[in-house]
């Protein structure tokens, strides 16, 4: 996430990655400073960023003019081409769900609306369910739009060697025009900044809640940014690092989802909001699929399958 924002600054402003990394850190601190005015302000800014990303990819999709029949078909019929495509699928899964966001969402909701009556609890739960469905729906559509845009821009034109975000940015201009590359860079920046803010807040919540570290909030936020800054200063390939980081997130999903299922299945903890049987069946099925994907990815990586 942090690397994505740094890449956005790098591409749009033409500045070195290390300067872009520092600029990303400063911008993230500024965004997170809005939390002092209440979480609603921060939530509004992050939502606006996500909205701009969605609008950017709507524009890109309109410019590309994909064949919607193929898009609809492959939306329900998956197709893999070797272990690299499975790696990308795992990365998309990790980028969409983000295990750390599960912890953050739980932490943010604890004191937001406090109710005790069973009827009010159920009503609040319905609102939360709608909130999550909208958020995940938008995230899935944005990820889908990225794939559609890439497939019909690069692959359809025989450009199958686009291996980095920088190459994609430079190649968009001759194919779709200068505006397209700027929209791409802007969407990368907005998605990176919003995700960097969420990631930093998640790290802050985990250090404060799980590890019980009593350290200043600005130090906690800085610590969560350090790994990305190290990657930038070492000069590692940011695109590959981004993909691998998202794959690692998919490996972290079971550590968030399995305890979540266990907790929400316990009537002593959940009361009237305990999972229904069908919910548990579906949840364990999804958890099993994620574990299967992760195990297969490990197998394919070490065996070259």
Mean pLDDT, to the nearest integer, of 47-69?
Answer: 81
Using a pLDDT cut of 70, give the percent of the chain over it. 85
Q: Name the band, by pLDDT with cuts 50, 70 and 90, for residue 249.
A: confident
Mean pLDDT, to the nearest integer, of 49-63?
Answer: 80
Rounded-to-integer distance, Cα 204 and Cα 180, Å: 36
Res 91: pLDDT = 72
Q: Name the band, by pLDDT with cuts 50, 70 and 90, for residue 162.
A: low
Mean pLDDT, to the nearest integer, of 140-168?
Answer: 74
Using CA atoms, how far residue 291 sits from 4, 87, 183, 259, in Å, is 27, 14, 36, 14
**Residue 139, pLDDT above cutoff 70:** yes
C-beta of residue 166 within 8 angstroms of C-beta of residue 240: no
Rounded-to-integer distance, Cα 285 and Cα 279, Å: 10
**Residue 281, pLDDT above cutoff 90:** yes
Chain centroid, CA 38 distance in Å = 23
Mean pLDDT, to the nearest integer, of 18-44?
Answer: 79
Residue 116 sits at φ, ψ, to 5 deg, of -125, -25
Using CA atoms, how far residue 245 sits from 10, 93, 112, in Å, is 20, 12, 31
Res 282: pLDDT = 93
Exposed e or buried b per residue across 33-50, where buried means at least 16 C-beta atoms within 10 angstroms of its C-beta: ebbeeeeeebeebbeebb
- The closest alpha carbon to 104, from 266, 223, 227, 256, belongs to 256
Res 111: pLDDT = 63
Highest mean pLDDT pick, 17-31, 146-160, 203-217, 266-280: 266-280
DSSP-derived letter for residue 164 is S
Q: Name the band, by pLDDT with cuts 50, 70 and 90, for residue 284.
A: very high
Res 212: pLDDT = 67
Specify the pTM.
0.71
Mean pLDDT score of the chain: 78
**Residue 176, pLDDT above cutoff 90:** no
Q: What angle do CA 24, 3, 169 make, to 5 degrees?
A: 100
**Residue 116, pLDDT above cutoff 80:** no
């Amino acid at each position: 996430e942090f690397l994505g924002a740094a890449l956005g600054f790098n591409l749009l402003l033409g500045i070195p990655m290390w300067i872009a990394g520092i600029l990303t850190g400063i911008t993230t601190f500024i965004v997170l400073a809005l939390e002092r005015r209440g979480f609603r302000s921060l939530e509004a800014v992050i939502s606006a960023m996500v909205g701009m990303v969605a609008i950017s990819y709507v524009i890109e999709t309109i410019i590309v003019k994909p064949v919607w029949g193929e898009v609809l078909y492959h939306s329900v019929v998956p197709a893999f081409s070797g272990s690299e495509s499975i790696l990308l699928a795992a990365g998309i899964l990790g980028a969409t769900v983000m295990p750390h966001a599960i912890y953050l969402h739980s932490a943010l909701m604890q004191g937001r609306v406090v109710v005790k009556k069973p009827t009010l609890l159920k009503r609040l739960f319905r609102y939360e369910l709608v909130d999550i469905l909208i958020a995940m729906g938008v995230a899935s559509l944005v990820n889908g739009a990225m794939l559609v845009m890439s497939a019909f821009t690069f692959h359809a034109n025989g450009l199958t060697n686009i291996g980095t975000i920088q190459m994609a940015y430079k190649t968009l201009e001759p194919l779709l025009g200068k505006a397209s590359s700027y929209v791409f860079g802007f969407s990368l920046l907005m998605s990176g900044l919003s995700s960097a803010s969420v990631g930093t807040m998640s790290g802050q919540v985990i250090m404060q809640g799980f590890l019980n570290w009593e350290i200043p909030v600005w130090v906690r936020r800085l610590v969560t940014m350090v790994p990305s800054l190290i990657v930038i200063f070492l000069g590692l390939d940011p695109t590959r690092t981004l993909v691998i980081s998202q794959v690692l997130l998919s490996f972290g999903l079971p550590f968030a989802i399995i305890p979540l299922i266990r907790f929400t299945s316990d009537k002593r903890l959940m009361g009237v909001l305990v999972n229904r049987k069908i919910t548990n069946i579906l949840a364990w099925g999804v958890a099993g699929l994620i574990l299967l994907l992760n195990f297969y990815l490990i197998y394919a990586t070490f065996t070259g399958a």
